[in-house]
Structure 1
Amino acid sequence: MLFNYLRLLLLPFSLIYGMAIVLRKKLYDWGLMRSVKFNLPIICIGNLAVGGSGKTPTTEYLVRLLAEYRIAILSRGYGRKTKGFILADDNATAESIGDEPLQYYQKFENITVAVCEDRVKGIEKLKENHDLIILDDAFQHRAIRAGLNILLFEFRKLGTLQFLLPAGNLRDVFASRKRADVLLVTKSPVPLLPVAQQASINELQPNNTQKVLHSYLKYGDLQHLYNNESRPLESIKDFEIFLLTGIANPDPLIEELEKYSKTIKHEEFSDHYAFKINDIRKFKSAFEAGSKKEKIIITTEKDSKRLKAAGFKDLLVNLPVYFLPIEVDLFEEDKITFDELILNYVKSDRRNR
């Protein structure tokens, strides 16, 4: 109730923010602010809300789809403590490049991962040695004119009333969706009923050139934080689960874990939260005080990158601490359409023919 009152108090500021967004949008549309186009395929993945729509696994989907090409992923590197252009290498940490870029770098061997708050400068440094560049979370970065814009919408939030910042979590106006080439509805239920599929299309009201496609989450086996051990989710049935997250929207993860256990104790932090020693000590104490004999610690793959930072290993190394990887996939017909659209776009560039 208090949160709703606070939201009402913030609505005037959301109105001012919205006016500023619309003005900036018009300045780019009218050509009064410069937007740079590059002579190689640039795929932009973004959303209108702050976090939680599935940009990271969607980016990874593209990397797998386009594996035969020389790919660079360029990110702002949210949460890093550095500035400027940085290429990921074996010395990279979540503090130096951000947790998501570190995940990309450690997960895929044959790609380049870079961070730069100035995306134009970043592309200038990458364009000569790559066949395409994927911009992670750059839909609002109008200084670049991407060749293909993929805009993500979380299924369960379509049709709900959402407010602009700071009253809500929208950082862009809904009308901005018209700039996108693909409107990808993420975290869809499985199976996806035709009536639900049509409802999201009706909500997004695509123009004649836009595709509305649907994806869903797939969960892998649990992976130990410090060794190569893995175990299927079925193996933790009826365990006491201690869940540690610092992501925007942990609800789908909780729903998945509830299929295996009704005893879930969740320690929730904000997105990209920089865990502190005292946080982990407190969490470890709660785990050790757990009532069940069979118990486990689970976190997300993104959070695992920050938990591996110096200082935490001594606290966690002897505990059953695992992260749960996720992937996205698309429903059969949408997958064919999406893959074909992406591959044709990349192949259409002269350097990739």
Structure 2
Amino acid sequence: MRLSNIFKLFSYIYASISYTHRKLYDFSILKRHFITDIISIGNLSFGGRAKTDLTIEIAKFLEEKKIKAGVLLKGYGGKENYKLLEKNSENVSDEALLISRNTKLPVLVSKNKIIGAKKLVNEYGVKVIIMDDGFQSYYFLNKTDFLILFKNDIQGREILFRSFFREYKLANFIFIEKCEFSPNIPHDYFDFEYRFIKMPENVEVEKPSSGTVVLTTAKDEFVRKLLKELNIIKLPDHYSFTSCDIEYLKYISQKNNLIMTMKEYVKTPGIEAIIINRKINFLTDNWKKFILDII
């Protein structure tokens, strides 16, 4: 059987399972929970990117509007059911650390999203929850789904199973990487701006022409295009740096430029490095108006 046919078969199987799972909630066979207003951020592709960028932007916007909000992320491993993050918390994901360091909102990591959501409401007085990776969390009532679509998603190159793409119609609002796709769903367009920051001095510098790039991100094509002429060390997603790793990174930084994203830098504090700083730019304020209308 050809590989494309195998993918197509799995596509149909997955679509059927996903549809059945959703309908079990629609017909109240499985219970949905009302806790508070939830803004869910998700995407269609595996290892999807930009959820953290978008979570931070929405968190900052709600802070600016003085709306009592909190952030909920899925936790993996460990014995705790939940963990409220501090700026220098340990044993949590790089995404969680990035969010906690870029917002004053309470950021909770929980293995069980229902338990985590209840804790944010009952113990921290949260009125709105920003939930990372919640597009298929059908068990919440009052959940508004914000979906991120990249050009490659639309062209079908980034979605492992093509049947995923039609699920964009389930979203309430879509953030679309700048292109000509215009769905009949409230949406806004975005693109990225890249800068290079020398750390720990926090000074902007020119794009490095030499050095070693260290990456632990699942979707790293943007870095490879940006710095394709440099040596790249690719590590697993959510990699935890050991003390030996950090010593080796210090050695690299003494010899030449050490380059990484903030995702790696939050896990290796104090190291001299050039950070690829990615800023998400929105073409309009449609998303802000939409949020204020739903909460």
Please confirm whether the aligned pair reaches a TM-score higher than 0.5, indicating the same fold: yes
- 1:130-149, aligned counterparts within 5 Å? 130-149=126-145
Residues in 2 aligned to 1:341 and 1:296: alpha-carbon distance in whole angstroms:
43
Counterpart residue identity of residue 175, structure 2? L
Pair 1:266 & 2:256 matched: no
Question: CA 1:244–1:169 in structure 2 vs 1: closer, same or farther (change >3 Å)?
Answer: farther
| C-alpha contact 2:8 2:161 (8 A) present in aligned 1 | no
Confirm or deny that 1:303 pairs with 2:264: yes
Alignment pair present for 1:88 and 2:93: no
Letter in 1 for 2:174: L
Identity %: 21
Q: 1:71 to 1:223 in 2, by over 3 A?
A: farther
| 1:170-319 correspondence to structure 2 within 5 Å | 173-186=164-177, 188=178, 196-197=179-180, 200-201=181-182, 205-206=183-184, 210-224=185-199, 227=200, 229-234=201-206, 236-237=207-208, 239-257=209-227, 263-276=229-242, 295-308=256-269, 317=271
Q: Which amino acid aligns with 1:17?
A: Y
Task: Indicate the residue corresponding to 1:339 in structure 2.
Answer: 288
Instruction: Sort the Cα spacing of 1:282 and 1:221 in 2 relative to 1 into closer, same or farther, 3 A.
Output: closer
Shift of 1:306: 2.6
* Deviation of the 1:54 alpha carbon: 0.6
Which residue, 322, 329, 341 being the options, matches 2:281?
329
Shift of the 252–54 alpha-carbon distance from structure 1 to 2, 3 Å rule, reads same
SS of corresponding position for 1:50: coil
Secondary structure of residue in 1 paired with 2:230: strand
> 2:202 is matched by which residue type in structure 1?
S
TM-score of the aligned structures, taking structure 2 as reference length: 0.85
Partner secondary structure for residue 287 of structure 2: helix
Offset, 1:126: 1.1
- The Cα shift of 1:64 comes to 1.7
Q: 1:305 to 1:119 in 2, by over 3 A?
A: same
Task: In structure 2, list runs of 5 or more residues that go unmatched.
Answer: none
Preserved contact between residue 152 and residue 158 of structure 2 (Cα < 8 Å) = no
The answer to whether the 8 Å contact 1:50/1:169 transfers is no
Distance 1:86 1:106 in 2: 15
Distance 2:136 2:116 in 1: 16
Change (3 A) 1:9 1:155: closer
- Structure 1 residues 233 and 250, CA gap change in structure 2 (3 angstroms): farther
Give the direction of change, closer, same or farther, for the CA distance of 1:83–1:325 in structure 2 (3 Å limit).
farther
Structure 1: any 5+ residue segments left out of the alignment?
A: 189-195, 347-353
Corresponding residue for 2:107? 113
Report the equivalent of 1:46: 42
What's the TM-score once normalised by structure 1's chain length? 0.72
The two structures, once aligned, show a CA RMSD in angstroms of: 2.9
Q: 1:25 to 1:324 in 2, by over 3 A?
A: same
Cα displacement string for residues 281-319 of structure 1 (whole angstroms, at most 9, x for unaligned residues): 66677777x7xxxx31111111222334xxxx7xxx4xx
Counterpart amino acid of residue 235 in structure 2: F
Q: How many angstroms does 1:104 deviate by?
A: 1.4
For these two proteins, the number of residue pairs brought into alignment is 290
Q: Partners in 2 of 1:230 and 1:169 — Cα distance? A: 41
1:173 is paired with a residue of what secondary structure?
helix
Q: Which one is further off, 7-16 or 58-67?
A: 7-16
Highest Rg: 1 or 2? 1
* 1:52–1:249 CA contact under 8 A, matched in 2: yes
- Change in CA separation of 1:28 and 1:223 when aligned onto 2, cut-off 3 Å: farther
